[in-house]
Structure 1
């Protein structure tokens, strides 16, 4: 059986390890972290309260799913070019995730709102009256998805410019 070595931070072409940054992965993770952090500050601005649950929760402005997949697609496009199968794969993934966020997930959240209202109005002796409410903030409105996409594009472009300016210096 052949042994396979996975190198995440070293160059495969050089005899001595040359450390580099996985630009696409870093861009996607930073875009996700930024989007989730922005949600905390938007909640504080709108509702005058800190909600650390927004760091890990879904839904809201901007879409962290959209930011993540857009950052990944743009990073792959900038790094590997637009003509390769890697970019095509990342782009199709981004389109599917963003379409799903404004379609299925948005409507599932709206259905959860209606179901929670129905359960809330049930008499106390009803077996469903004691159920935990369904999570309502699942999907995104189109402006939330667009904002996430723009955040992802800016994040990966800035990281690309920073990483390539330090390589050329």
Structure 2
């Protein structure tokens, strides 16, 4: 199967997995708690989105050259993804924080006005959606280094 020999695809997938795995020990050093749910979470250091798109672009550049249309497409896609991670998604996370606080304040007000049973399955919005620019930078750096390192092995 040809898809199993697609180096850019493998580089991108491996970059995602490695970036997500790196989040667990980094969080442990900061909090002294092991949180395996970070493997499937969004946001945090390093950005797996940035790692994936830069690994993809680097692998495409290695295989097809910097002057290829494929590299142009992957580079523009990567720029859009990284811009979105530091812009729209990060601000959506800020909005989620504010909305969660508003919901908590509203519920507290209702409890004070009358005894209102608190719902057991109350859902909060996910607040860690996007990335700080430094998280995107290190995700991008991880993706580039990963592709350059993997190419001699599996490229």
- Mapped partners of 2:126, 2:107: distance in 1: 21
* 1:161 alignment counterpart: 152
- Mapped partners of 2:37, 2:29: distance in 1: 15
Offset, 1:149:
0.2
- Mapped partners of 1:86, 1:53: distance in 2: 35
Q: Which has the larger radius of gyration?
A: 1
Query: Structure 1 runs of 4+ off > 6 angstroms?
Result: none
Deviations, residues 135-158 of structure 1 (Å, cap 9, x unaligned)? 000000000000000000000000
Output the aligned Cα RMSD.
1.8
Offset, 1:22:
1.6
- In the alignment, is residue 26 of structure 1 matched against residue 21 of structure 2? no
The 3-state SS of whatever aligns with 1:121 is helix
In the superposition, the TM-score normalised over structure 1's length comes to 0.81
Offset, 1:8:
2.5
Larger RCO, structure (CA 8 Å, separation 6 or more): 2
In the superposition, the TM-score normalised over structure 2's length comes to 0.88
Give 1:129-148 correspondences, 5 Å limit: 130=119, 131-148=122-139
* 1:57 alignment counterpart: 41
Offset, 1:161:
2.8
Give unpaired runs (5+ residues) of structure 1. Answer: 1-5, 10-20, 165-169
Query: 130, 138, 142: which is aligned to 1:151?
Result: 142
Offset, 1:121:
1.2
- Mapped partners of 1:158, 1:105: distance in 2: 30
- In the alignment, is residue 79 of structure 1 matched against residue 63 of structure 2? yes
